[in-house]
Amino acid sequence: MTTKPNLDELFDRRTTLPDVIARERLAALVGLDEQKARLTKVLGLLINPVGLTQWAGKHHPKMNGLLKTILRRPPLVVMAGDVGSGKTELAETIGDAVARQEGIEITLFPLSLATRGQGRVGEMTQLISAAFDHAVDEASKLKASSGKARGGVILLVDEADALAQSRENTQMHHEDRAGVNAFIRGVDRLGNGSLPAAVIMCTNRLGALDPAVRRRAADILQFARPNDAQRRALLHGPLSELGFSAPQIEQLVGATGPNGKTPYGFTFSDLTQRLLPAIVLDAYPAQPATAARAMQIANSLLPTPPFQEKSL
Ligand X SMILES: Nc1ncnc2c1ncn2[C@@H]1O[C@H](COP(=O)(O)OP(=O)(O)OP(=O)(O)O)[C@@H](O)[C@H]1O
Task: Note the residues at the interface with ligand X (CB under 6 A).
Answer: 28-32, 83-89, 204, 223, 234, 268-269, 272-273
CB of 89 to Mg ion, least distance (A): 8
The length of the chain, given as a count of residues: 312
Neighbours of 1 (CB within 10 A): 13
CB 164 within 8 A of CB 226: no
Residue type, 205: R
Residue 31, contacted partner among Mg ion, ligand X, none, CB below 5-8 A by kind: ligand X
In what side-by-side order are the strands of the sheet with 15-17?
15-17, 105-112, 151-158, 197-203, 76-81, 219-223
- Bridge partners (DSSP) of residue 151 are 105
- The smaller minimum CB distance to ligand X, of residues 140 and 227, is found at 227
Which lies closer to ligand X via its Cβ, residue 32 or residue 279? 32
Query: What phi and psi, each to the nearest 5 degrees, are found at residue 154?
Result: -115, 120
How distant, in Å, are the alpha carbons of 16, 99, 115 from that of 19?
Answer: 7, 9, 26
Q: Which is nearer to Mg ion, 80 or 255 (CB)?
A: 80
- Among Mg ion, ligand X, none, what binds residue 268 when CB lies within 5 to 8 Å by partner kind? ligand X
CB of 117 to ligand X, least distance (A): 16
Helix (H) or strand (E) holding 252: helix 246-255
Shortest Å distance, C-beta 4 to ligand X: 27
Q: Which residue's C-beta sits nearest to ligand X?
A: 86
Q: Is 88 in the site for Mg ion (CB under 5 A)?
A: yes
From the list ligand X, Mg ion, none, partner contacted by residue 89 (C-beta under 5 to 8 A by kind): ligand X
Residue 32 interacts, among ligand X, Mg ion, none and using kind-specific CB cut-offs from 5 to 8 Å, with: ligand X
Q: Give residues in contact with Mg ion (CB under 5 A).
A: 88
